[in-house]
Amino acid sequence: MQFKKISKEAPRFFAWAALMTCSLIIKVLPSRFLYGFSAVLGRVFHIIALKHRRVAMDSLRIAFGKEKDNGELKKICRDCFISIAKSGAEILKLTVDHAYMAGRVEIEGREYLDRALAAGRGVILVSAHFGNFPLLISKLDVDGYRIGVIMRRMRDIRMERFLIRKRSKFGMRVIYSQPRQACVGETLRALRSNEMVFIPMDQNFGTAGVFVDFFGKKAATATGPVVLAQRTGSAIVPCFIVRQPDNTHRIIFEPQMALPEGPDCIAESVQNITAVIEAYIRRYPSEWGWMHKRWKARPAGETAG
C-alpha cells in the first residue's frame, strides 16, 4: 500500500516541482525568448512523459489511424506537447505581465456572441480543451464580458492552490463541477444574470452522459449544457481559440446552435455539438489535448479497447 501511494504521489510532486521551476524562469525570461523556451520544454516533456505520450498516440490512432500514417501521428503528438507548453508559458507570463498578450488575440464572429447575449438569457459557450482556452476566457474578461468556466478540481492540492492564485490574476472565474448541486446553482445564477458560462464538452463522462459518435467511435459525453439551455432558454454558442503560425491567436465564435425537438433531442443536440468540436480538431489536430482517454467508457455490452 505504501509503495502504491508513493508511486502515485511521486509523479505529482515532480510535476508540481517542474511547474514551479518553469514559473520562476518565465517570470524573468525576456519575452522574445518565451516561445523558443516553451517549444524546447514541450519537446522535452514529449520525450520523458512516456505515459502521456502513449495515451496520446493511442487516441490519435483511434481518431486518425485509417487516415494518417504513423509518422504523421507522431508529428501531431509532438506538436500537441509543444502547443500545450506554449499555452502554459503564455498564461504564466500573463500573470506577471498583464499587457503581454495585448494585440495578440483577435476575435472572429463576435456578432454571434453579442446577438445571443442581447436575448438576455445568458450564453453557454461550448468548447473543448483546445488551444489556449484560458487565454480565451481572459480575453473576454478584458473585453468586459462576464464569464465563468466549469472545471474539475486538480487531484494535487498543491497544483490546485497554485492555479487558483494564477487564475485570479487574469480574470478566470472558475465554477467547480463538484459538488454538483453547488455547480448547478452557481451556473443557473450566472445564466439568469445574462452572463456567459464556458463548458468544455470533450472529456470522457463515464456512464452519466450519452454516447455519441466522435471520430467514428462512441464516446461518453456530458449532457449538462443542453439540459441547462432547455431549462433557462440560454443560447448555446460554440467557440474555439486557434494559435496562428506567428503565435498570435484567433478566437472564433460559431452561430448559435438550434436545439432540436423530440424524444431524442438531448442526444441529438450533444451529437451536433460534438460534431462541431470534431471538425475543429480535424482542422487543427495539434491544438487538442490528446493525452486524455476520451473513449475510456464504453456503452453497455461493449468492452474497452
Question: Using an 8 Å Cβ cutoff, are 179 and 168 in contact?
Answer: no
Locus of grid cell 494564477: 166
SS3 13: helix
Per-residue pLDDT of the chain (305 residues; tens, 9 = 90+): 454 555 556 666 666 677 778 778 888 888 889 999 999 999 999 999 999 999 999 999 999 999 999 999 999 999 999 999 999 999 889 888 878 888 999 999 999 999 999 999 999 999 999 999 999 998 999 899 999 999 887 666 766 676 666 666 665 688 888 888 999 999 999 999 999 999 999 999 988 889 999 999 999 999 999 999 999 999 999 999 999 999 999 999 999 999 988 778 999 999 999 999 999 999 999 999 999 999 999 998 776 55
Distance CA 61, CA 35 (A): 29
HEC per residue, 32-50: HHHHHHHHHHHHHHHHHCH
pTM of the model: 0.91
Strand partners, 219: 212
In order of 95, 117, 174, 258, the CA distances from 195 in angstroms are 24, 8, 13, 19
8-state DSSP, 67 = T
Q: Which residues lie closer than 8 Å to 182 by C-beta, 6 or more apart? A: 176
Q: Which residues lie closer than 8 Å to 251 by C-beta, 6 or more apart? A: 105, 106, 107, 108, 136, 139, 140, 239, 240, 241
Q: What number does CATH give the domain 2-287? A: 3.40.1130
pLDDT of residue 109: 98
Domain extent listing, the chain: 2-287
pLDDT of residue 170: 60
Residue 15: count of CB within 10 angstroms of its CB: 15
H helix intervals, 152-263: 157-169, 180-192, 224-232
